[in-house]
Structure 1
Amino acid sequence: MAYDEDLAHRIRELLSGEQGVEEKAMFGGLAFLVDGHMAVAVSGTGGLMVRVALDEYPKLLSRRFVEPMMMADREMRGWVLITADGVRTTRQLRPWVIRGVDFARSLPPKQRGYASRRGRRST
């Protein structure tokens, strides 16, 4: 299943005034990175993936439309999946996007070129 293009467009609109935002195709969906950190992503299987603080994670799972994010049958703590029914309106979507962006901005800056150096040995 391809990701929801309408949901991606709605997220773009919400992030239009934010600095340091980029999009990357990942895991069959579309991720929105803030200063190099994933904040939210349109899931290729439906819904919205949101990066959250670990201390908020258990409480968020008790909310309507919120599920644990699973990848390869493994629970990805620190990420929640909001079902499509939970992000149908801007009023539903906005707080989740803000939560993901705020969390991404709270992380230390990414080192430039890290991905290109992984696995390489210095000589």
Structure 2
Amino acid sequence: MAYDEELAQRIHDLLDGEPGVTSKKMFGGLGFMVDGHMAVAAGSQGSLMVRADPADGAEWADGTSVTPMEMRGRPMSGWLLVASDALADDDQLQLWVDRGVAFVRTLPPK
């Protein structure tokens, strides 16, 4: 299934002007890269993949709207899946985009 284009545009608008940001289609979504590292990605049905420090991710996951990301049934350490209901307004989306960007800014540029 293709990524949610409305969510992708909202993310693009939030990251507009942020240094080092590019976007790339991958894994059926649209990833937003910061200095070569994917920070967030627009997925299908309005979900958002967020890169996070694994310790923070464990704290932020609520088991309902925010869950550890899985790919092919395997957990992906350092990735969260945020459901569309937790992204209803721009402040909520900004929180998650900021978290992903802040984490990848701690990594060395690729």
Report the TM-score when normalising by structure 2. Answer: 0.94
Aligned equivalent of 2:4:
4
Structure 1 residue aligned with 2:99: 99
- Structure 1 moving runs of 4+ over 4 Å: none
Structure 2 residue ranges without an equivalent (≥5): none
- Number of equivalent positions: 110
List gaps (5 residues or longer) in structure 1: 111-123
* TM alignment of 1:107-122, pairs within 5 A: 107-110=107-110
Q: Quick one: which amino acid aligns to residue 21 of structure 1?
A: V
Q: Does 1:20 align with 2:20?
A: yes
Alignment match, 1:119: none
Q: Which has the larger radius of gyration?
A: 1
Give the CA deviation at 1:62: 2.4
The 8 Å contact of residues 64 and 86 in structure 1, kept in 2 or not, is answered as no
- In structure 2, what is the equivalent of residue 115 of structure 1? none
1:41 aligns with 2:41: yes
Q: Distance in 1 between matches of 2:57 and 2:40?
A: 15
How many angstroms does 1:55 deviate by?
A: 1.5
Q: Secondary structure at the match of 1:2?
A: coil
Partner of 1:114: none
User: Are 1:56 and 2:81 matched, yes or no?
Assistant: no
Task: Name the stretch that deviates more: 57-66 or 32-41.
Answer: 57-66
How far off its partner does 1:63 sit?
Answer: 6.7
User: For 1:20-52, what per-residue CA distance to the aligned partner results, in whole angstroms no more than 9, with x for missing partners?
Assistant: 110000100100000000000011354000000
| Residues 39-85 of structure 1 deviation map (CA, whole Å, 9 limit, x = unaligned) | 00011354000000111121111275101101011011100000011
In structure 1, what is the equivalent of residue 78 of structure 2? 78
**Equivalent residues of 1:4, 1:46 under 8 A apart:** yes
When the two chains are superposed, the root-mean-square deviation of aligned CA atoms in Å is 1.3
Specify the SS of the correspondent of 1:32.
Answer: strand
SS in 2 for 1:106: coil
